[in-house]
C-alpha cells in the first residue's frame, strides 16, 4: 500500500475512533499502521477486503476496548505533589523554594502543592458494552446465514436475561410492597389491638429487610449476568471474525 493510500485509510480510521480515549486510539492506529506496512503493496480496496472499511474496523476496535474495560478495574489518577519554587509561574502566594531532597535552599522547609488535576478515567456501562459488541457483530462482513444465526442467538440471550431479571425484580417488589402494607396495617392496629398490631409491624419490617437483602443480591447477580452476556456476545464476534478471515 502506497503512503497516500495508507494515510487515507488510517485517517478515516482515526476519525471513526474519535470516541475512544487518546491512549486506546493511539494504540490502535500504531497497530494497524504496522499491520498495513506488513501487508506490503496493496490497494485501498484490498485493505478494505482484509480489514473492512475504516468504519467497520473501528467498530471492532471499539468492541475490543469496551470488553477490555470490563476486565480492568478503574483506578483514580494518582495524586502527585510537586515542589513549587518561590516566584514560579502559577505558584501560590508565599510559596517557598526548596528541594524535596536534602537541605532546602530557602530558609523554610520546602512546600508541596497538588499537581494539576487529571481527568478521571471513564468506563462504559455494561449495557453499552453489549450494544457496542452487537454493532460490531453486525459490521462483520459475514454471510447471511451466519449473521441470521448470530442474531437469533443474541435475541434469545437478551430475552432470557430480561425474563430472569424481570422475574427477580417482581419478587423483590412484591416483598417490598407486602412489607409496606404490613407495617401500615400494624400501625393502625396498634390503637385497637396492640398485640396484633405489633405482630404485623414485626412481620412487615422483616419483609422489608428481606426485600432489601434480595434487592442487593439482585443488583449483584444482575451485574454478573449482564457482564456474562457481554462476554458471550464478544465470543460470538471473535468466532465470526475468525471464520470470516479464514474464508478469505
Q: How many domains does the chain have?
A: 3
Q: Cell 475468525 belongs to which residue?
A: 242
Last residue of a domain, one of 45, 75, 105: 75
Q: Which residues contact 154 (CB under 8 A, 6 or more apart)?
A: 134, 137, 233, 236
Considering the domain boundaries, does residue 133 fall inside one? no
Quick check: is 145 in a domain? yes
Comparing CA positions, the residue from 29, 32, 4 lying closest to residue 17 is 29
Residue 56 shares a structural domain with residue 82: no
Phi, psi of 79 (to 5 degrees): -95, 100
How confident is the model over 17-76, as pLDDT tens digits?
Answer: 988 888 889 999 998 888 888 776 666 677 677 778 888 889 999 988 888 877 665 555
Q: Are residues 35 and 14 in the same domain?
A: yes
Domain that includes residue 87, residue range: 77-119
64, 76 Cβ separation under 8 angstroms? no
Span 152-207, pLDDT tens digits: 888 898 898 889 889 989 999 999 999 999 999 999 998 888 899 999 999 999 99
Query: For the whole model, what pTM was predicted?
Result: 0.62
The backbone torsions φ and ψ at residue 83, rounded to the nearest 5 degrees and listed phi first, read -75, 135
Amino acid at each position: 500500500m502506497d503512503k497516500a493510500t495508507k494515510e487515507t485509510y488510517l485517517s478515516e480510521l482515526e476519525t471513526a475512533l474519535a470516541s475512544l480515549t487518546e491512549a486506546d486510539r493511539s494504540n490502535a492506529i500504531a497497530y494497524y499502521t504496522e499491520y498495513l506496512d506488513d501487508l506490503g503493496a496493496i490497494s485501498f480496496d484490498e485493505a478494505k477486503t482484509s480489514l473492512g472499511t475504516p468504519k467497520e474496523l473501528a467498530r471492532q476496535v471499539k468492541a475490543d476496548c469496551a470488553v477490555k474495560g470490563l476486565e480492568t478495574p478503574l483506578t483514580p489518577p494518582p495524586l502527585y505533589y510537586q515542589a513549587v519554587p518561590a516566584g514560579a509561574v502559577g505558584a501560590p502566594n508565599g510559596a517557598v523554594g526548596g528541594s524535596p531532597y536534602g537541605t532546602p535552599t530557602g530558609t523554610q522547609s520546602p512546600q508541596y502543592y497538588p499537581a494539576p488535576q487529571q481527568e478521571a478515567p471513564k468506563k462504559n456501562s455494561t449495557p453499552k458494552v453489549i450494544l457496542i459488541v452487537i454493532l460490531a457483530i453486525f459490521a462483520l462482513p459475514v454471510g447471511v446465514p451466519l449473521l441470521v444465526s448470530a442474531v437469533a442467538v443474541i435475541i434469545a440471550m437478551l430475552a432470557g436475561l430480561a425474563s430472569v431479571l424481570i422475574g427477580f425484580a417482581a419478587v423483590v417488589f412484591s416483598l417490598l410492597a407486602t412489607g409496606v402494607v404490613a407495617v401500615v396495617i400494624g400501625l393502625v392496629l396498634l390503637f385497637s389491638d396492640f398485640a396484633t398490631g405489633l405482630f404485623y409491624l414485626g412481620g412487615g419490617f422483616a419483609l422489608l429487610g428481606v426485600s432489601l437483602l434480595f434487592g442487593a443480591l439482585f443488583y449483584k447477580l444482575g451485574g454478573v449476568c449482564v457482564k456474562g452476556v457481554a462476554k458471550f456476545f464478544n465470543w460470538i464476534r471473535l468466532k465470526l471474525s475468525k471464520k470470516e478471515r479464514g474464508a478469505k
